Each structure stands twice: as structure tokens, then as C-alpha cells.
Amino acid sequence: MTKTVAVIIGSLREDSINRKLTRALEKLAEGKLSFVELNIGALPHYNEDLWETVPAEVSDLKAKVEAADAVLAVTPEYNRSFPGVIKNALDWASRPYGKNSWSGKPAAVTGTSPGVIGAAVAQGHLKAEMLNQNMVVMHQPEAYIHWKADAFADDGSITDEGIRKFLQAYVDAFAAFIEKHG
């Protein structure tokens, strides 16, 4: 049965390479995983006072996470960590106290950068934060993707056979991980 995956894309820019990578992963996961993007760019900055009248974007975030079988984050690296927009989303859905929407969710992290280490430091930080949220984080296989523009087409197809095979194995491992831990 197809599993629903709540997807965090850590870049808000339209031409994001992480968004392109997400499209490629979605295509490889067809029939196994169905992606639902979390609109993290619409969230206000975390402010405890806002719980008095819960912003619709926050309710929507929590509902989508809770309805999902798993969480996937596709993150760029900003100054050797993951972008603040992801931390903001993690903080919102972790509250109110005792109602952490992330808790127990199988999760995976990948991401890409034009830098050769492929957002590896950001991914490591994000995995640590996900553990903090009591998510069940897949650590192997890892997928640190050094972005090569000519390997990915805009429609999500992958033209580099080596990268396609590598990412197919990654997606299949995540689907199996969700079956085991979901």
C-alpha cells in the first residue's frame, strides 16, 4: 500500500535545486510513496503568544504531519547547518507541550548543494534535531548529493544513470524503513 510522506523542502526559492531533487525522488517513489509538501514558508516565526488563536498555517502543518506515515526532509546547507525555516517548522509542530506531531514518525533526510560534500553537515544537524523530536530517523543509506545541473531535468527525470540508481536505492530503502518502523 502507498505510504504518505510529509515532505519538508528547506529552500523557499522557486528554482531551488532541492525542490528539483524532491521532484526526482517523488518520481522514483511512484507507487510506493505519495509526497505531501509541508508549506513551511507560510508559517509565521514561532511565537508562543500565537497559540491563543492558532494560525491556520500551523493547524495545517500539524494536521499534515499527523496524517502522514513518515517525514522526508530535503535540505540545502546554509552556513554548515540546515536553514532556519526548517527549525521554525519543527518548533511549531512540536507544540503545544505533550502534543508533538513529529513524535514516532519514521523520517529521512537528504539534500543537495553545488558544494562537493552535498549538504552533509546540514543533514547531520537536521538528523540530530529530528532525533530530538523523537522521530525514528533512517541513518543508512545516506544521500549527500553533489548537485550537477545536467544530471536532473525539470520534470523530475534523472539523466545520469549512476545518480538515478543511487537515488532509487535510497527511496526503496526509505519505503522499507517506513514499512518496518511505521
Binding residues (CB under 6 A) for ligand FNR: these are 11, 13, 16-18, 76-80, 113-115, 119
Please tell me the distance from the alpha carbon of residue 121 to that of residue 128, in angstroms, as a whole number. 11
Please tell me the distance from the alpha carbon of residue 169 to that of residue 102, in angstroms, as a whole number. 25
For residue 48, count CB atoms less than 10 angstroms from its CB and return exposed for 0-12, middle for 13-18, buried for 19 or more.
Answer: exposed
Distance in Å, CB of 62 to ligand FNR, minimum? 25
Please tell me the distance from the alpha carbon of residue 124 to that of residue 109, in angstroms, as a whole number. 9
Please, which residue, 79 or 140, has the CB nearer to ligand FNR?
79
Please, which residue, 81 or 101, has the CB nearer to ligand FNR?
81
6 grid coordinates: 510529509
Please, which residue, 100 or 113, has the CB nearer to ligand FNR?
113
Distance in Å, CB of 18 to ligand FNR, minimum? 3
Please, which residue, 114 or 182, has the CB nearer to ligand FNR?
114
Please, which residue, 123 or 133, has the CB nearer to ligand FNR?
123
Residue nearest ligand FNR (C-beta atom): 115
Distance in Å, CB of 26 to ligand FNR, minimum? 15
Phi, psi angles (nearest 5°) of residue 2? -65, 135
Distance in Å, CB of 64 to ligand FNR, minimum? 21
CA torsion 143→148→153→157, rounded to 10°?
A: -30
Amino acid of residue 122: A
Distance in Å, CB of 40 to ligand FNR, minimum? 13
